[in-house]
Structure 1
Amino acid sequence: MVEEETLVKELKSKETQSNAFEVLVTNYKERLYWHIRRIVLNHDDADDVLQNTFIKVYRNIDGFKGDSKLFSWMYRIATNEALSFLKQKSKKLGLTDGEYKDHVIENLQADVYFEGDEIQLKLQKAIATLPEKQKLVFNMKYFEELKYEEISDILDTSVGGLKASYHLAVKKIESFLKED
């Protein structure tokens, strides 16, 4: 994998931008896809949001100052794109956020790309009941195994606040699974 600093320089240079962007997509597309997929839940929607994320990264790379890791910056863009997508989609369907979450969960079993068993489906239903921030923190910590410091960079939140959000999310998921 190319050094992040070198990759950023190449992304900002018109001569090397195209090749560097290919490297960037190759290195990060799978991780970003699964991050987005855990937010939007649907494969096709995740593909659309991923494409929009890379377009934004490409268009805004000159604005990347290097205050955080490139990875964190892209995750922040992907997170914002996914959340915006959900808001637009629920508005377009005339549903509240809660109704839209229910709609997505109901359709999860019908998604040919959903490979989980009944337990995975129950876990996804439990996660879907969480407030947005707790859902993001839980997914990043549990599935993506990110450190609290990395999540802090991505969500621009204190580590202490993230630990509290994760703890509450785990308790709510446990409670949901016991009730179900």
Structure 2
Amino acid sequence: MISEETLVLELKTKESQAKAFEVLVNTYKERLYWHIRRIVMNHDDADDVLQNTFIKVYRNINSFKGDSKLYSWLYRIATNESLTFLKQKSKKSGISSEELQQSLIDNLESDVYFEGSEIQLKLQKAIATLPEKQKLVFNMKYFQEMKYDEISEVLKTSVGGLKASYHLAVKKIEAFLKEG
């Protein structure tokens, strides 16, 4: 595994760009896919958003200044692409983002790519009821086991604010699970 600095340098160099991009995709595609999938809830949509994320990364790698980790930058792009995708999807469908979330959850039950048990489905339903920021923080902390400082880099929010969001998300999820 090459260092992040070397990878960024190779991505910014014409001669090594194609090979370096292949390394980047192979290194991050699975983690980014699951991050995106937890936001958009649908396999095909997650594939589309992942592809858009990598296109955006490829086009904008020269503007990456290294102020944050490459990993954080990729997650920020994937998060923004996912949220933009959902906004466009709700606008195209002529429904609110809340209605879209409910529709995505309903579709999860019939999604051939969703292999979760009843409790996992219930957890996904609970997560879908959270406000956007709490949902993002919960998914990154709980499923991806990211540290608060990493999430802070991705979402550009203070660690204290993230801890509060995570705590609130956990309380709401617990309450939702107790109801059902």
TM-score in terms of structure 2 length: 0.99
Deviations 1:10-58 (A, max 9, x none): 0000000000000000000000000000000100000000000000000
- Mapping of 1:46-65 within 5 angstroms? 46-65=46-65
Output the CA distance in 2 between the equivalents of 1:2 and 1:126.
39
Structure 1 residue 108: Cα displacement:
0.3
Which one-letter code corresponds to 1:142 in the other structure?
Y
Q: Does 1:35 align with 2:35?
A: yes
Q: Equivalent residue for 1:131?
A: 131
Deviations 1:56-108 (A, max 9, x none): 00000000000000000000000000000000001111110111001000000
- 3-state DSSP class of the match of 1:5? helix
Output the CA distance in 1 between the equivalents of 2:135 and 2:50.
19
Which one-letter code corresponds to 1:11 in the other structure?
L
Which one-letter code corresponds to 1:94 in the other structure?
G
Output the CA distance in 2 between the equivalents of 1:97 and 1:38.
15
Output the CA distance in 2 between the equivalents of 1:98 and 1:35.
20
How many corresponding residue pairs?
A: 180
Q: Equivalent residue for 1:15?
A: 15
- Mapping of 1:46-125 within 5 angstroms? 46-125=46-125
- 3-state DSSP class of the match of 2:14? coil
Which one-letter code corresponds to 1:86 in the other structure?
L
Structure 1 outlier segments of 4+, above 2 Å: none
Q: Equivalent residue for 1:140?
A: 140
Deviations 1:112-148 (A, max 9, x none): 0001010000000000000000000000000000000
Structure 1 residue 2: Cα displacement:
1.3
Which one-letter code corresponds to 1:95 in the other structure?
I
Q: Does 1:152 align with 2:116?
A: no
Q: Percent identity of the aligned residues?
A: 79
Output the CA distance in 1 between the equivalents of 2:2 and 2:155.
25
Output the CA distance in 2 between the equivalents of 1:175 and 1:116.
21
Structure 1 vs Structure 2 CA RMSD: 0.4
